[in-house]
Amino acid sequence: MLKRTLIGLLRSHEQTGDKAKDPLLKSHFYKLSKDKAWEEVISTLKKMQGYKVLHEVQSVGEIVMEKRTMSGRTMDITVSVISVNPLTSAVDVYSASRGSLGDLGSNYRVILEIYRVLDKKLGAFKVNS
């Protein structure tokens, strides 16, 4: 976590993906069709405390959310639900803080929190890659 805080002095964004070096930032895969995964993800995200869903586009699988930090900064978060094949979907997250300077690792922690909540809800469908 100290490493993330130091990186966060300079960087104010974080994202997940298949090729992420950090194993905690790898895409999460679920044994659900894109439509079913979309329904589960959007309903879960709407219930998360402190997050506000601003925009959702099911056709492209994107959900745009906002989170305000205790220091008054605003974080913009994009959650993507991607169809890998007809029976498997992936969820990726991009989080960026508004304003100058770094985020002290808060985007990293937000992504981990979102993944933790989704894995709790969709744990039965999680595919370990």
Per residue in 69-128, pLDDT (tens digit) is: 887 889 999 999 999 999 999 999 999 998 877 778 889 999 999 999 999 999 999 998
Alpha-carbon distance 36 to 39, whole Å? 5
Predicted TM-score (pTM) of the model is 0.90
Q: Selecting from 3.30.390.30, 3.30.70.270, 3.30.310.80, 3.30.200.20, what CATH number does the domain 1-125 have?
A: 3.30.310.80
Q: What is the pLDDT of residues 18-70, one digit of tens each?
A: 999 989 999 999 999 999 999 999 999 999 999 999 999 999 999 999 999 88
Residue 8 pLDDT > 90, yes or no? Answer: no
The domain segmentation of the chain, as residue ranges, is 1-125
**Strand 74-85 with 28-30, pairing:** unpaired
Q: Distance of alpha carbon 36 from its chain centroid, rounded?
A: 18
Q: What pLDDT is attached to residue 129?
A: 61
Q: What is the pLDDT of residue 5?
A: 58
